[in-house]
Chains A and B, each alone.
Chain A
């Protein structure tokens, strides 16, 4: 670096740049929060869905699956499982969820296994409500296709 570029100039870029971008980030966050009610499907965030989120969390589902593309990459994406396995219909999806959760693990040799989580019927309904709510979040048309 040329000698004209001094340490105090470098320091000022660091301090000024950081403060500027922190403030800008906070302003953008504020704007995002204003836009979220139209995007985050909070209308469908029922009590059942909220309970379902706790079921989702307390069984560490994110340890194998992705949800909106985030999580582990060992098992299928579940942000659109409501469309993929429930044909976008609440009752169909609930029926699928009960059948699926109670059939695990499959025990097929060499195949990836999903544990049996021993959820109650109520918990499975709640989990289904949570996944249905998640499926309604505006994701800028992600994923590209139904396979997630």
Chain B
């Protein structure tokens, strides 16, 4: 660490990993509820488990992004953070608010939580991924403003590089798009139209800027390749991400009310959406091959390359599989969607956060970490494959036949139970991988090498 204030990133990463563990546990609960329907009912109904699972994902990714930004910005700007105290204060505010929200989900019936937090004054709750009480959403905005102020001042007074400017653009975009979560018209079609401005434009817009800049930073550090070359790549990747991703929003507008022309627009642009992910994978491998030094943190390079590949497979290939309107007509809202979501999120966003680890672990710890990497990654590939199998069968039984012949939803679910069991077993393997990854933090602490 070159700058003392980079240390504020540490609690962010630790808390992010704790939340990640929680997310995986609730994922396993849901996985079991898919096959043993009344498991933990009524203590934790499925909707509560799912809300906890997805909200933990969002919150821990935000913690990961914030930690990465606090680590990266001082080094790129070549100065200490504007206010480390503010960063720590915001950490506690966000951590406490996030924990209270999750506890609220688990301990109070959702309708009660809505009443307690005055949802009727400004109804924003009860929409997928945006289930947080309105007051939590306001808290997120306040934390984001403080965070942007802190980083913005640091960049303004310090060196401006392509990496920190792109990262800042992404983070500002993240905060701005979140404001649409406060717009919840009574008209369902309009509600859904603008709901995607948060969800899609986060995932396939600003998050790609954030992820691209983090990847560029890690590759400069671990490979020593010339900054000019890396920055040129970064520009090309984010250019393709936005050029394809913004109109790619159209692939969500096929069946929720907007006019028919979105079928063509959405199909064309989302067919191009794998390009930035493909470039990212090529970028990671290209830079690794041209590396000018052997960085002591080989595990970080493995994460960087693995993330490139998995993001391409999950977001690119699995996304493309069901993005064309004629295909999506049958697959929309089936387990195919779920399979794509799992691998894409793991590859594109979870992996960059997991690799956020200061360099200089001992060899032994890195070997353990790499075991964790392979277990989790392979498990995720199989979770995706099993859900895809479930999805194909579901489409075949429930969607393709005519009304009257088609199997009902619940009857179809009974037919595909085997795939859910297989998914649950691989979920357990994923958990084992995560435990191994955690163990690697505690291996061989005494023999830590200090990196150059």
Q: Taking beta carbons and an 8 Å cutoff, which residues of A are in contact with B?
A: 1, 5-7, 10-11, 13-14, 17-18, 21-22, 24-25, 28-29, 31-32, 35-36, 39-42, 45, 49-50, 53-54, 56-64, 66-77, 105, 107-113, 115, 117, 130, 133-134, 137-140, 142-148
**Nearest A residue (CB) for B335:** A73
Q: Which residue of A lies closest to B249 (CB)?
A: A25
- Chain A residues lying within 8 Å of B228, measured Cβ to Cβ, are 7
Let me know if B46 and A142 touch, CB within 8 A: no
Q: In the assembly, what is the distance between CA of A64 and CA of B410, in Å?
A: 13
Note all chain B residues with C-beta closer than 8 A to A75.
46, 409
Q: Could you tell me if B249 and A144 are in contact, using CB atoms closer than 8 angstroms? A: no
Q: Can you list 26 contacts pairing A with B, beta carbon distance less than 8 Å?
A: A1-B233, A13-B239, A17-B239, A17-B242, A53-B186, A54-B120, A54-B123, A57-B119, A57-B125, A57-B184, A61-B47, A63-B131, A64-B45, A64-B46, A68-B188, A69-B332, A70-B333, A75-B409, A76-B410, A110-B38, A115-B41, A115-B42, A137-B188, A143-B332, A145-B402, A145-B406
Residues of A within 8 A of B119 (CB): 57-58
Nearest Cβ in chain A — how far from B432, in angstroms?
25
| Residue B73 lies at the interface, judged by CB distance under 8 Å to chain A | no
Is B345 an interface residue when CB atoms closer than 8 A count as contact?
no
**CA A108 to CA B37, docked complex, whole Å:** 9
B409 touches A76 (CB 8 A): yes
Which chain B residues border A24 with CB–CB below 8 Å? 246-247
Q: A10-B239, A22-B246 are in contact. Are A58 and B110 (CB under 8 A)?
A: yes
- With A and B bound together, what is the CA distance between A24 and B249 in angstroms? 12
Contact of A70 among B46, B192, B236 (CB under 8 A): B192
Q: Which residues of A contact B172 (CB under 8 A)?
A: none
Contact, CB under 8 Å: A74 / B235: no
Q: Which residue of B lies closest to A119 (CB)?
A: B111
Of B59-67, B141-149, B258-266, the segment with at least 4 beta carbons within 8 Å of chain A is B258-266
Choose from A35, A58, A109 the contact partner of B114 (Cβ within 8 Å). A58
A5–B126 contact, CB under 8 A?
no
Residues of chain B with a CB closer than 8 A to A21's CB:
242-243, 246-247
Q: Is B399 an interface residue (CB 8 A)?
A: yes
B330 at the interface (CB under 8 A from A): yes
Query: Which chain A positions have C-beta within 8 A of B258?
Result: 32, 35-36, 39
Compute how far the CA of A61 lies from the CA of B123 in the bound complex, rounded to whole angstroms.
Answer: 15
The answer to whether the Cβ of B256 comes within 8 Å of any Cβ in the partner chain is yes
Mark B residues whose CB is within 8 Å of A: 30, 33-34, 36-38, 41-42, 45-48, 50-51, 110-111, 114-115, 119-120, 123, 125-128, 131, 162, 184, 186-190, 192-193, 228, 231-233, 235-236, 238-239, 242-243, 246-247, 249, 253-260, 262-263, 265, 329-330, 332-335, 337-338, 398-404, 406-410, 412-413
Contact assessment for A112 and B33 in the assembled complex, using a CB-CB cutoff below 8 Å: yes
Is A53 within 8 A of B398, CB to CB?
no
A113 x B38 contact (CB < 8 A) = yes
Cα separation A65 to B42 with both chains bound (whole Å)? 17
CB-defined contacts of A70 to chain B, threshold 8 Å: 128, 192, 256, 333
CA distance A10 to B260 in the complex (A): 34
Contact residues in A for B408 (Cβ distance below 8 Å): 76, 147
Contact A50 B186 (CB under 8 A): yes
Tell me whether B256 and A68 are in contact (CB under 8 A). yes
> With A and B bound together, what is the CA distance between A134 and B265 in angstroms?
25
Taking a contact as CB atoms under 8 Å apart, the answer to whether B257 and A139 are in contact is: yes
Distance of B280 from chain A, by nearest CB (Å): 14
Q: Give A113 to B39 CA distance when docked, in angstroms.
A: 9
| Chain A residue at smallest Cβ distance from B253 | A32
- Closest-by-CB residue of B relative to A14 is B239
* The one of A25, A42, A60 that contacts B51, using a Cβ cutoff of 8 Å: A60
Alpha-carbon separation in the docked complex, A138 to B403 (Å): 19
Is the Cβ of B256 less than 8 Å from the Cβ of A56?
no
Quick one: closest B residue to A56, CB to CB? B126
Given contacts A112-B38, A143-B255, 20 further A-B contacts (CB under 8 A): A6-B232, A10-B232, A21-B242, A21-B243, A40-B188, A42-B187, A53-B188, A57-B127, A58-B110, A58-B111, A64-B50, A68-B255, A70-B128, A72-B46, A74-B50, A110-B36, A112-B33, A113-B45, A137-B188, A148-B409
**Within the assembled complex, what's the spacing in Å between the Cα atoms of A41 and B46?**
31
Nearest Cβ on chain A to B219's Cβ, whole angstroms:
15
Query: Could you say which residues of chain B place their CB within 8 Å of the CB of A64?
Result: 45-47, 50
With most chain A CB atoms within 10 A of its CB, the pick from B115, B189, B407 is B189
Closest to B239 in A: A14
Would you list the 3 A-B pairs with minimal beta carbon distance, nearest first? A63-B47, A57-B126, A69-B333
Contact A71 B333, CB 8 Å, known A109-B38, A113-B38: yes
B46 touches A36 (CB 8 A): no
Contact A40 B257, beta carbon cutoff 8 Å? yes
A7 touches B235 (CB 8 A): yes
Q: Is the CB–CB distance between B398 and A147 below 8 Å?
A: yes
